[in-house]
Structure 1
Amino acid sequence: MSRKRKKIYAALVDGATEGLAGRDLYDFVQKRCPKTSGKKIVRASLFGLTDPHLKDRNILNVIYDLAIRHRMDEVRPDEDHDDDDPNQAFPPGKKLGTRKDKESSAVPAAI
């Protein structure tokens, strides 16, 4: 992990340990790491969820909540996502590379 992400992660844990949550925690991290972006904060939060040394459930919940809330802020409210087919594996227009094998593509003739 990069040194910058470690600094952001440390700020997240320090703020959560002090009892900060939500927007207050986000502002705390912004003050300690003024050049950071929301994307970097979310990545550092996700690292916190995988850190085996961090075992306090409350801190993990606060960090998880921050990552989810901030990630969902990036989804524009004016976009309608209900039209998406949840069973569709790939977005429309996405072409998959196919390998046509002569044996597997042979269609038996109708008798």
Structure 2
Amino acid sequence: MCIYEALLDGATAGHSGKQLHDFVEKRFPKTSSKRIVRASLLALRDPHVKDRNILDTIYALAINERLGDVGRDDNHDDQEALEAPEPSAPIKLRKPKAAAGELSAASEI
């Protein structure tokens, strides 16, 4: 059995959210959020999985796992994240090149 199958089994049994995560983690204690997200994406792409409720449950779990990873890896203060970043070097804009038709019209003047 793999994480993918455990995920589908749990979702089919009616587990969702934290319950589904715990269900998968109980079968695979050394699993990571990254593996759960990958298995979720695989399930979402599987043409044999057609039940809308199961797909919604798996999608929600994938999003929660992914956002959970962002929160764990992020050591910044929330207020810092809301502040605009300092601009780097100024952006230099180029003048647009004249089209071929504009060049011939200009030479006739």
TM-score bracket, normalised by the shorter chain, equals 0.5 to 0.7
Q: TM-score, normalised by structure 2?
A: 0.66
> Alpha-carbon deviation of 1:51?
0.5
Query: Could you say which residue in structure 2 is the equivalent of 1:19?
Result: 14
**Which structure is larger by alpha-carbon Rg, 1 or 2?**
2
The count of aligned residue pairs is 82
Decide which structure has greater helix share. 2
Q: Which residue of 2 aligns with 1:82?
A: 82
Q: Aligned Cα RMSD in Å? A: 2.2
Q: What amino acid maps onto 1:82 in structure 2? A: L
The Cα shift of 1:70 comes to: 1.1
Counterpart of 1:97? none
How many Å separate the matches in 2 of 1:69 and 1:75?
Answer: 10
- 2:27 maps to what in 1? 32
1:84/1:19 Cα in 2 relative to 1: closer, same or farther (>3 Å)? farther
Question: Match for 1:59 among 54, 59, 68?
Answer: 54
Identical pairs, percent:
56
Q: Residues 84 and 71 from structure 1, CA distance in 2 versus in 1: closer, same or farther, beyond 3 angstroms?
A: farther
TM-score, normalised via structure 1 length: 0.65
Distance 2:40 2:34 in 1: 10
Rounded to whole Å, the distance in 1 between the matches of 2:54 and 2:46 is 12
- 1:69 equivalent in alignment to 2:64: yes
Q: Alpha carbons of 1:84 and 1:40: their partners in 2 closer, same or farther (altered >3 Å)?
A: farther
Change (3 A) 1:84 1:51: farther
**Cα-to-partner distance string for 1:60-104 (whole Å, 9 max, x where unaligned):** 00000000011111223735443468xxxxxx88xxxxxxxxxxx
